[in-house]
């Protein structure tokens, strides 16, 4: 079974590509979605986060307050490393479990949607990595519109993510999202045909 990682920075169009793959009947495993599913009240995932960052990251019902957690970790490199140390092994275990299920169902190609795949343990799950790379100005506008944030905040978010030239160098394939949605969809369809022809 081929496992294809789909990666890209914020506003690149990665989620759009993964949405099409889902529509076309492929299994797409979203690392962020799995993280949210694991962070339910009473879970090991949430208990370890509370032990590391304090009970104030949850509300009165034990539900994770993501904004409060984010404020604690994203400005502090050591706290961010601790967050990764806690969450990544649990997410990886769940991804492996779902990949085993997909293989047992006889699926021949499964996709992994993740902003951080290259140079992380997630890459070890992938036989192929595809980077979706957008036009920076378009990305800034998409982020501003999608998240309701200022231009400076959108630029700062992109500045903290992988550079396009790095993604181009390290990915096996690249989807250039610099034109229309139809053009991106056509590229995705063509790439899918190429990937289907590659042995697992």
pLDDT digits (tens, 9 = 90+) for 97-156: 999 999 999 999 999 998 889 888 999 999 999 999 888 878 888 888 888 888 888 888
Q: What is the pLDDT of residue 7?
A: 93
Cα separation, 159 vs 58, in Å, equals: 29
Question: Of 44, 46, 28, nearest to 95 (Cα)?
Answer: 28
CB 18 within 8 A of CB 101: no
Query: Long-range contact list for 18-22, CB < 8 A, 24+ apart?
Result: 18/111, 18/113, 20/185, 20/188, 21/111, 21/188, 21/192
Q: What is the pLDDT of residue 73?
A: 82
More reliable by pLDDT, 68 or 29: 29
Cα separation, 135 vs 11, in Å, equals: 9
Sorting pLDDT into bands at 50, 70 and 90, what band is 200?
low
Cα separation, 132 vs 134, in Å, equals: 7
pLDDT mean across residues, the chain: 90
Question: Of 16, 5, 4, 10, nearest to 181 (Cα)?
Answer: 16
Would you state the structure tokens that stand for residue 46, as one six-digit string? 């949430």
CB neighbour class for 107 (10 Å; exposed up to 12, middle 13-18, buried from 19): middle
| pLDDT (average), residues 91-101 | 96
Cα separation, 82 vs 146, in Å, equals: 29
What confidence tens digit (pLDDT) does each residue in 154-179 have? 888 787 787 888 888 889 999 998 88
């Amino acid at each position: 079974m081929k496992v294809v990682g789909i990666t890209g920075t914020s506003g690149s169009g990665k989620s759009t590509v993964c949405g099409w793959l889902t529509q076309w009947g492929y299994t797409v495993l979203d690392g962020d979605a799995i993280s949210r599913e694991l962070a339910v009240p009473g879970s090991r995932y949430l208990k370890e986060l509370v032990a590391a960052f304090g009970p104030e990251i949850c509300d009165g019902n034990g539900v994770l307050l993501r904004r409060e957690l984010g404020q604690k970790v994203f400005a502090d490199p050591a706290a961010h490393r601790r967050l990764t140390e806690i969450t990544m092994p649990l997410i990886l275990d769940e991804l492996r479990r779902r990949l085993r299920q997909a293989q047992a169902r006889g699926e021949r190609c499964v996709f992994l949607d993740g902003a951080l795949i290259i140079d992380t343990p997630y890459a070890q799950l992938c036989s192929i990595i595809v980077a979706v790379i957008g036009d920076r100005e378009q990305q800034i506008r998409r982020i501003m519109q999608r998240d309701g944030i200022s231009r400076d905040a959108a630029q700062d978010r992109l500045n903290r993510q992988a550079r396009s030239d790095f993604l181009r160098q390290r990915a096996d394939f690249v989807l250039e999202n610099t034109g229309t949605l139809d053009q991106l969809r056509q590229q995705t369809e063509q790439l899918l045909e190429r990937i289907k022809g590659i042995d697992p």
